[in-house]
A and B are shown apart, each in its own frame.
Chain A
């Protein structure tokens, strides 16, 4: 378990991360010069619409690369270790599932149907920590308690569990090796409202008890406010805003963030939701200009030039309005 360090130390620091895919039409700029950091025991949410590069960002950080990779550069510091310089084998042994793990999208369907869930949760312990089977199973049982799965479910198969329980098992599997950072890719998008609320209660408790950092990747703005201390907004492969959740969910800075928040139907406020006209640009041929400008209501002459990233402390915004 990583200890809470001084606030100037980060569990993760990403600098100018670039990941392009090779396609017949040209390079798809899925992640384009992305920089952000994440403190110990902090949760950050990466928000954006489908195709904005948020899942690619998760894959780039965990180095789960598809075959058609075109460019993959930048720096990723995990607990002050630069991971981009590690070889594939070193990365597998030292980083993936040791310091950082993933709850994949549709995790409830990601479980192996022919393995008992207890064995699946214990497996990373056997592989990475070389413990005995009994020790691994004991650790798996502890994790089941943390995520709220009854311990006697340990001998069941995935099909014997409900969607919410399977999601919890996938979460237990990501926590079992006590990583410092867990990436959650759309953890509740397929679940019911009550189950979703339950899972977020669990995540909050785990964050308190185990002092883990989370990267939450989602398009669901309302539920992300349950866990996130900070918010990152991506648009067309770029980060357009990084902000504290207290300011982000009330007064976001970037025009895209403002429109995104205005598009959320609300239950407790009388406010007609708005939609964002137009579509995001193709990520293949992008002009050096603000990528949101064609849909932006604040557009002015400057927007034809590539906007700089304006930084104020840990806040980032990529917009000429704030220059």
Chain B
């Protein structure tokens, strides 16, 4: 595909090169980072940014400084001490240009800063880390966008994950599903409290149908998740099967508290009424209903009604599928769910202090019992979670911990038995 605009000289790269060269003559050099990317979109229009950047032209002409305009609209000016007063004046002018923007109005508050100043002599490492980080982020972004739009990538996906789902295929999958025995596709994953020694304590388990296995059993060669809307519809069909299965197993053979995913629409269906009628009040209290955020927002009216309905019956409700990006936008407390699950992703760590302090605040406000960090597939996830206040975890790594803990207990038992048998056995001698 022709994407000429992207072939423009990347300012990010130029900035990195420049900062590298700066290493040998840091003395008397300064850098100011103007956070124009934090402006409201309305103020971030190209002409505004160009105007802001043009203000520094005289400094470039006088050879006392260099200006870099990054793709995210941030401005970097590297300048000599002699030009400091001049740079400060221009920064003030730029500030004035955007004086009605919250970024300027709230400068210094809520972690918002209009401009950050650095002295290359004393803060060189900091500068280097900053520009490297920005360049990496930009490169990653371009790569990902390209991947998403790339036919090659799509083809690769198709070869790896199967034919994309289309309505006709979906219809036949649903047909096949109505006859298939799903009981051997039910998987169980535990939500655990994990202590500092990485010893897990099982709190409740999520029951779900393994989509991966389902695909292989019911319709090999079809990528069920390739279209989010068709998949979402498919989950409604799946919900009904899960409910009837939970009913058959009486949910009694399943020990302990359990959670399962359903759609709001399912909670309002007759099927759920029947399911509910078959449960004792005590059993309801042992169940957690997990709802997806997009499902909730597709019909808030229905969600509010359903949430109230199941909560008064005694079920607990968990908001599922929060991510780094949605965390700040969707508030568990406002939605009135008992719990929320945040999906672990390394980007949580990349988010730096801002994300960490935000999460800390949330966990402080709600208490650790309301939050679960899920899809933890590495120790890093648990370590990160603990530092911001998570106590409850779920995911492959947690499953490993459980297995490990089981082995350790077995060994301990064995050891005790050996110890006991090697003790002097007076009784038998008598």
- Same assembly: no
